[in-house]
Structure 1
Amino acid sequence: MRRIITDTQICHGKAHVEGTRIPVHIVLDLLAGGETCENILQAYPHLTEKDIQACLKYAARLATEEVVYESMVAA
């Protein structure tokens, strides 16, 4: 799940897709609202299908309290 990280300097420390400033909750909200992966990828061209899958996996693990937070500290 390395695609999902936290960094205190990006997105106020919220989980986001690595290499972007797109928080996981944005992707999940779009999916929950009925958006298709195709539409999300068109709206956010920096995302990949694997990024969307990683967001879903992150949410599933969070729901079962199995999330391991990977944090990066800016130098």
Structure 2
Amino acid sequence: MSDRISIDPAICHGKPVISGTRVLVSTVLGALGGGDSIETVLADYPTITREDIAAALLFASELSDYQQTDYTTAK
């Protein structure tokens, strides 16, 4: 994944977390999407850094880079 995001079946049921914490990437993204500022998220989760939040955003960006392939014409 990355050095800041980890997925381990033994931690939080294998959901992506900020490495070294049990802070779910989805929790960080949900807070930001709900209108919380980065400063608020950092205050709410003091074990994460601004760089961790940037990694969570990059992770979401990479996951959302969905491309549709037309399998009827693809060879």
- The separation in 2 between residues aligned to 1:3 and 1:52, in whole angstroms, is 9
Give RMSD over aligned pairs.
0.9
- The separation in 2 between residues aligned to 1:55 and 1:20, in whole angstroms, is 13
- The separation in 2 between residues aligned to 1:62 and 1:41, in whole angstroms, is 23
List runs of 5+ in structure 2 lacking aligned partners.
67-75
Taking structure 1 as the reference length, the TM-score comes to 0.83
After superposition, residues 1-75 of structure 1 pair within 5 angstroms as 1-64=2-65
- The separation in 1 between residues aligned to 2:3 and 2:62, in whole angstroms, is 13
Taking structure 2 as the reference length, the TM-score comes to 0.83
Relative to its length, the structure with more strand (as a share) is 1
Question: May I ask how many residue pairs the two structures share in their alignment?
Answer: 65
Which has more radius of gyration?
Answer: 2
List runs of 5+ in structure 1 lacking aligned partners.
66-75
Structure 1 segments of 4+ aligned residues over 2 angstroms from their partners? none
Which structure is higher in RCO with an 8 Å CA cutoff and minimum separation 6? 1
Give identity over the alignment, percent: 43
- The separation in 2 between residues aligned to 1:11 and 1:37, in whole angstroms, is 23
